[in-house]
Amino acid sequence: MKRILVLLLLICACGAAWAEPARFEIPSTEWGISFDAPPLSQKQDRRNGGNYAFRANSGRFNLSFFVETPQGPGATHDDTFRYYWPQASRNQMIDKASVKIAPGASYVRVQYDILADLGGRKLRMRNVNYYIAYAGKWVDVHISMVEPGAEDEQVFTEFDNSLRLGPRAS
């Protein structure tokens, strides 16, 4: 835990970058995911049967997404949210007062802050999960930013407005 907090503190020193279009084709499917985000580095992915996981970062901005066979009944964004959010919300570091749930046509969006104490210094990380049902899969897209400032709100807004799942690019 202490190492994670130290890492988060070091990441705080890095500034946020401007968003740029990104697209990732999901293996073993006929579709992909696209969004606008700061230029991503340290990209890692993992495949397990029909499931896929990806993560990357850009300074203080972090991204991960998981594409999985449904873990319960239902095929809607709400079904995906009702399965994953109760698990994620168990995190003791979530500032419960910061939780904002916004169902939409393209996803269910959940925003929340994680608060940590690093040797007497309070550290805040803004998190957003997008719960999506698409093409027989459940998708959990997660973005976060350490110590976001007012100038970083544009990164969250651009990601919100650009997140799309759709057929493979030709």
Per-residue pLDDT at 81: 98
* pLDDT of 5 above 80: no
Q: What is the pTM of this model?
A: 0.88
Q: Evaluate whether 18 touches 126 at the Cβ level (below 8 Å).
A: no
Q: Evaluate whether 85 touches 94 at the Cβ level (below 8 Å).
A: no
* pLDDT of 169 above 80: no
Domain ranges of the chain: 2-167
* pLDDT of 159 above 70: yes
Q: What is the mean pLDDT of the chain?
A: 90
pLDDT band at residue 65 under the 50/70/90 scheme: very high
pLDDT band at residue 16 under the 50/70/90 scheme: very low
Per-residue pLDDT at 170: 66
Measured CA to CA, the distance from residue 4 to residue 135 in angstroms comes to 35
For the record, the structure tokens of 135 come out as 């093409």
- The CATH H-level superfamily of 2-167 is Mog1/PsbP, alpha/beta/alpha sandwich (3.40.1000.10)
Average pLDDT of 50-61? Answer: 96
* pLDDT of 3 above 70: no
Bridge pairing between strands 137-146 and 61-68: antiparallel
